[in-house]
Amino acid sequence: MNLLETRDLGVSRGPCPVLHGITLRVAPGEFVGLLGPNGAGKTTFLRAALGLIASSGQSSLASLPQGERARAASFLPQGREIAWPMPVEAVVALGRTAHPSATRATDRAAVERALARMGLEALRHRSATELSGGEQARTLIARALAQEAPLLLADEPTAGLDPAAQIAVMETFADLAAAGGAVIASLHDLGLAARHCTRLILLHRGTLAADGPPRAVLTPDNLARVFGIRARLEDTSDGLVFQPLGRIAP
Amino acid sequence: MVIRALICALLAGLAPALPAAAGDAPRRVVSMNLCTDQLAMMLAEPGQLISVSNLARDPVSSAMVDEAGAYPENHGAAEEVFLLKPDLVLAGSYTNQAATALLRRLGVRVEVLDPATSMEDVHAGILAVGRALGQEDAATDMAARFEADLAALRAAPASGLRAALYYANGYSLGDQTLAGQILASAGFANVTAEAGLSSGGFLPLEVLIVSNPDLVIQGDRYPGAARAEELLDHPALSALGPQLPRGVLADRDWICGTPHVLRAAADLRAAQATLHGGH
Amino acid sequence: MRLPYPALIALLTALVALMFAASLLIGPAAIGLSDSLGALFRGEGEAVTLVMREVRLPRAILGLFVGGALGLSGAMMQGMLRNPLAEPGLIGTSASAALGAVIAIQTGLAAAFTLALPLAALAGAMVSVALILALAGPRGTTLVLILAGIGISAMAGALTSLVLNLSPNPFAASEIMFWIMGSLADRSMVHVTLALPFMVLGIALALPVARGLDALTLGEDAAASMGVRVGRLRVLLVVSAAALVGGATAVAGAIGFVGLVVPHLLRRAVGARPALLLPASALGGSAMVLAADIAVRLIAPDRDLKLGVLTALVGAPFFLHLILRSRKEVL
């Protein structure tokens, strides 16, 4: 059973197509890195797949009624917005908005699980806006976990975080996938993607340029064509290591 | 001084005749104030008064709308008045000060009449306007008639009734005002004066209600709508009891210190009969 | 340790009840406590009953609801725009509602059809909220919000002055102050019956959408992904805010800063949760307007001091403080 299935998904802004012909399936256990340079259509794809913007083609999520969709997939938008100085546990509890008919006890338990999973118990009464970037990221991931949907879509979840926090986020997502869920995260850091993701999807000017295991996607040819860079990719005793080396004149 | 020179130069061709020599009756009189308008219309000889203010034609404020129709109107602007080449301008002390000061600097004689706050002021005002117009005899006659009528009105027994004057925004008038004096001359006690307001001021609605007047006299309504007048429609005011039917007492007779105030007082006396009848 | 939410609501309710009682008992006519209560509840004493039931009671009821409407709409707008400076007075909603009311009165529409007054005020408020949303976008940044608010307020204020100055009634021009600053003086039960249904409608529309406001804390996309119908939420909030501000402004003029100060004071106490802030701000707004209305009667009993003067004296420093705090975002 697939958690997300899109067929010929496309989005147009006015007469210009910004995304077209995206057909893919995401199954439980996958941690998908969504790659591509700025403007390749990563955010657009995530929003279209979720039905947040109008699109052509099909997306299994977008065709669900909104209430059911909220229980099928959670979403971490770019920017980590927390408008009000709410306590961490209240922010996490917002994830339960997706379950309007759940009992108080069920809600409570889900929030506690999410807090515990992200190691936020000690911070639960702190104001979320006063936390560090990494702590805020953890809080928002906990919020998405509290939603208890099998699929998590995250838009640049590691942007602006220090290395330890970035790794923590990637490990959490890998764990989620290993536990039978699936994660699709748009990423700019190809090194993190190569190391932690089970599968990479490469977008280039709104189209699907490559889709497969990291080794198959991060080929010199793809890197040159899509990113205009050359890089070294090596299997080491520490796993797959990716290091960009320089630009290639277009 | 520069401004004056400039204006004089600009208007040189239109400059009026020199001000009338002392003792001569002015021949081109312009009135810029509702109250001097009415006194001047009563006292001036034909042809002497050449313009009255536009307010003199307003049926709510003016007691002499028909008479005013015979005169060209002015709007109280210095330039407009100056171009009429007046040798005397009559103004009230609330007339636009900038306009009267400018007219004076241009060499026009301006006489200012203070608003009347008592019957004595009315008497004095009649004589003052008569003097300014050079119509002393007519003024003396009118003042004497006014005194006699007033004495007759005051001779009638007091009604013992208590009344309040109530206008837009809850404005009321105490006994040291012209309207207050009209009320007294008609034999009414003034509730507003009892509440401690001797001149004009705001009387809160609830103070008015608690003072329990026998009669509330409201002002006329102006056309158009104003929140200030909504208060006069307040249900509590209507529930207060006897009210004079609107229109029985006309504002226009109450505003200016002219002999018309006696008509206001007489109307009020007549209205008492209705009031007693209604009770 | 924070006060538990039910205790906070109970405390605010008690405060409102106290202010409501004080509003009934304080006035220019010196009436003793027992006389006041006897008149109010049993109709003892003709004149005193008239004062209590027809003058003070409508004033107190309007203070209660106008304050509640302003506090609630302030909290709602802040939640919707995710900006603590969003407030009906500051972003031009009140001024636009006043313009609608003035047009209804001066065209004679309000005289011909009683409901025209609150409806026109509601329409004015609605136009301005829609305009703010169009100008400031879904998340109003402070700079755009304030600039748009200045523009809309200035426009509505100028048009209000124009309409009033063109009126044939000499008193109309002096009314500009009422529409800008607001007052509850000399309001009657007629005004209560006119405005109350609109404010009650606004409250009824606002409370069911509160949970959506909470979700909006994380942004529109996050809220939508959690099952909140953001478009519908926005429409409900706009209609609700317009009904609240329109109803209040139609009878009391534009009273500023209540919707700014009250949510600001109470935000910490409710853990900054927009949904919990709504009822608390409604109660806080009631208490603030009732207190201000008592104060204007005590400070200048014979002057009809405008309510907005007092709320601005309290609110403007708050506003400046908030500007200072959000300066980083502005620059």
pLDDT in tens, B76-130: 888 899 999 999 999 998 888 889 999 999 999 999 999 999 999 999 999 999 9
**Is B238 or C95 the better-scoring residue by pLDDT?**
C95
Identify residues of A whose CB sits under 8 angstroms from chain C CBs: 47, 50, 52, 66-67, 69-71, 73-77, 79, 81-87, 90-91, 94-95, 97-98, 100, 127, 140, 143, 147, 153
Q: CA gyration radius for chain C?
A: 19
Mean pLDDT of A159-170: 92
What is the tens place of the pLDDT at every residue in C117-171?
999 999 999 999 889 888 877 666 777 888 888 899 999 999 999 999 888 887 8
**Which residues does chain C have within 8 Å of residue B228's beta carbon, measured at their own beta carbons?**
171-172, 174-175
Cβ distance C69 to C250 under 8 Å? no
**Which residues does chain B have within 8 Å of residue C112's beta carbon, measured at their own beta carbons?**
none
Q: For residue B279, what pLDDT is reported?
A: 40
- CA separation, residue A93 to residues A90, A113, A189 (Å): 5, 11, 30
Which residue pairs from A171-180 have beta carbons closer than 8 angstroms and sit at least 24 positions apart in sequence? A171/A196, A172/A117, A172/A118, A172/A141, A173/A31, A174/A31, A174/A198, A176/A31, A176/A145, A176/A152, A177/A28, A177/A29, A177/A30, A177/A31, A178/A29, A180/A28, A180/A29, A180/A150
H or E element that contains A185: strand A182-186
**Which residues does chain C have within 8 Å of residue B224's beta carbon, measured at their own beta carbons?**
106, 167-169, 172
Residue B79 in tokens: 């330039």
Q: CA gyration radius for chain A?
A: 18
Neighbours of B261 (CB within 10 A): 26
Residue B175 half-sphere exposure toward CB, CA atoms < 13 A:
13
Give the C-alpha separation, C302 to C296, whole Å. Answer: 10
User: A143, C218: Cβ pair inside 8 Å?
Assistant: yes
Q: Map tokens 């301005």 to a residue.
A: C128
C324: confidence class by pLDDT, cuts 50, 70, 90: confident
Neighbours of B57 (CB within 10 A): 18
* Strand, helix or coil for residue C6: helix
* C-alpha distance from C216 to closest chain B C-alpha (Å): 41
C151 touches chain A (CB under 8 A): no
- In this complex, the residue of C227, C229, C274 whose CB is nearest that of residue A98 is C227
C211 touches chain A (CB under 8 A): yes
Phi, psi angle pair for B113, to nearest 5°:
-105, 130
Residue A175 in tokens: 């764990």
Give the C-alpha separation, C124 to C99, whole Å. Answer: 7
Average pLDDT, chain C: 90
User: A77, C218: Cβ pair inside 8 Å?
Assistant: yes
What is the tens place of the pLDDT at every residue in A217-232?
999 999 999 999 999 9
User: B223, C168: Cβ pair inside 8 Å?
Assistant: yes
Q: B136-145 burial by CB neighbour count: b if 16+ within 10 A, else e?
A: eebbeebbee
What is the tens place of the pLDDT at every residue in B14-51?
333 333 444 578 999 999 999 999 999 999 999 999 99
Cβ distance C122 to C97 under 8 Å? yes
User: C273, A147: Cβ pair inside 8 Å?
Assistant: no
C274 touches chain A (CB under 8 A): yes
Q: What is the residue type of A177?
A: A
C327: confidence class by pLDDT, cuts 50, 70, 90: low
Give the C-alpha separation, B77 to B75, whole Å. Answer: 6
Q: Map tokens 């996607």 to a residue.
A: A217
Residue A226 in tokens: 């899509």
Angle of helix C116-136 versus helix C230-252 axis, rounded to 10? 130
Residue C116 half-sphere exposure toward CB, CA atoms < 13 A:
13
**Which residues does chain A have within 8 Å of residue C212's beta carbon, measured at their own beta carbons?**
97
* C-alpha distance from C254 to closest chain A C-alpha (Å): 28
C12: confidence class by pLDDT, cuts 50, 70, 90: very high
User: B225, C56: Cβ pair inside 8 Å?
Assistant: no
Residue B72 in tokens: 């060209």
DSSP character string of C180-230: HH---TT--HHHHHHHHHHHHHHHHHHGGGHHHHHHHTT-HHHHHHTT--H
Please tell me the least confidently modeled range out of B189-198, C29-38, C210-219: C29-38
C167 touches chain B (CB under 8 A): yes
Neighbours of C97 (CB within 10 A): 34
* C-alpha distance from B270 to closest chain C C-alpha (Å): 27
Give the C-alpha separation, B253 to B61, whole Å. Answer: 8
Task: Identify the closest residue of chain B to C59 by CA–CA distance.
Answer: B206
* C-alpha distance from C297 to closest chain B C-alpha (Å): 10
Query: Which residue spans within chain B are E strands per DSSP?
Result: 29-31, 49-53, 73-74, 88-92, 110-113, 162-166, 171-173, 189-190, 200-202, 215-218
What is the tens place of the pLDDT at every residue in C279-316?
999 999 999 999 999 999 898 877 778 999 999 998 88
- In this complex, the residue of A52, A70, A83 whose CB is nearest that of residue C221 is A52
**Which residues does chain B have within 8 Å of residue C51's beta carbon, measured at their own beta carbons?**
206, 209-210, 236
Q: Is A243 exposed, middle or buried (0-12, 13-18, 19+ CB in 10 A)?
A: exposed
**Pairing relation of β-strands B88-92 and A4-13?**
unpaired
Contact yes or no, B with A (3+ CB pairs under 8 Å): no
Does residue B246 surpass a pLDDT of 60?
no
Average pLDDT, chain B: 84
Name the pTM for this structure.
0.85
Q: For residue C139, what pLDDT is reported?
A: 65
Angle of helix C57-81 versus helix C274-299 axis, rounded to 10? 140
User: B225, C186: Cβ pair inside 8 Å?
Assistant: no
* Strand, helix or coil for residue B111: strand
Give the C-alpha separation, A145 to A93, whole Å. Answer: 10
Give the C-alpha separation, B260 to B247, whole Å. Answer: 16
Average pLDDT, chain A: 94
Neighbouring subunits of B (3+ Cβ pairs under 8 A): C
Give the C-alpha separation, A153 to A156, whole Å. Answer: 10
User: C219, A77: Cβ pair inside 8 Å?
Assistant: yes
ipTM for the predicted complex comes to 0.93
Q: Which residue out of B54, B60, B205, B206 would a mutagenesis test of the C interface target, given it has the greatest number of C Cβ atoms within 10 Å?
A: B206
Q: Map tokens 């630009």 to a residue.
A: A247
Q: For residue B226, what pLDDT is reported?
A: 77
Give the best-scoring range by mean pLDDT among A85-89, B153-157, C78-82, C186-190.
A85-89
Does residue A175 surpass a pLDDT of 80?
yes
B168: confidence class by pLDDT, cuts 50, 70, 90: confident
Q: C317-328 burial by CB neighbour count: b if 16+ within 10 A, else e?
A: ebbeebeeebee
Contact yes or no, C with A (3+ CB pairs under 8 Å): yes
Please tell me the least confidently modeled range out of A62-71, B160-169, C196-205: B160-169
Q: For residue B272, what pLDDT is reported?
A: 76
C32 touches chain B (CB under 8 A): no
Task: Identify the closest residue of chain C to B206 by CA–CA distance.
Answer: C51
Q: For residue C177, what pLDDT is reported?
A: 85
Identify residues of B whose CB sits under 8 angstroms from chain C CBs: 168-170, 201-202, 204-207, 209-210, 212, 222-231, 234-236, 239-240
Cβ distance C97 to C157 under 8 Å? no
Q: For residue C242, what pLDDT is reported?
A: 93
Neighbours of B7 (CB within 10 A): 16
How much of chain B, in percent, has pLDDT values that exceed 70?
A: 86
C227 touches chain A (CB under 8 A): yes
What is the tens place of the pLDDT at every residue in B223-239?
777 777 888 888 888 88
**Which residues does chain C have within 8 Å of residue A124's beta carbon, measured at their own beta carbons?**
none
| Strands of the A207-212 sheet, one edge to the other | A73-76, A151-155, A182-186, A31-35, A199-204, A207-212
Residue B87 in tokens: 């040798």
User: C55, B229: Cβ pair inside 8 Å?
Assistant: no
* C-alpha distance from C46 to closest chain B C-alpha (Å): 9
H or E element that contains A7: strand A4-13
Task: Give the largest CA-CA distance in chain A.
Answer: 59
* C-alpha distance from C156 to closest chain A C-alpha (Å): 30
List residues bridging with B201 in a β-sheet.
B172
Size of interface B-C (CB pairs under 8 A): 89
* C-alpha distance from B200 to closest chain C C-alpha (Å): 12
Cβ distance A41 to A19 under 8 Å? yes
Mean pLDDT of A80-101: 94
Mean pLDDT of B189-198: 90
Q: For residue B14, what pLDDT is reported?
A: 38
Q: What is the residue type of B251?
A: D
How much of chain C, in percent, has pLDDT values that exceed 70?
A: 97
Cβ distance C277 to C266 under 8 Å? yes
Residue B46 in tokens: 């034909």
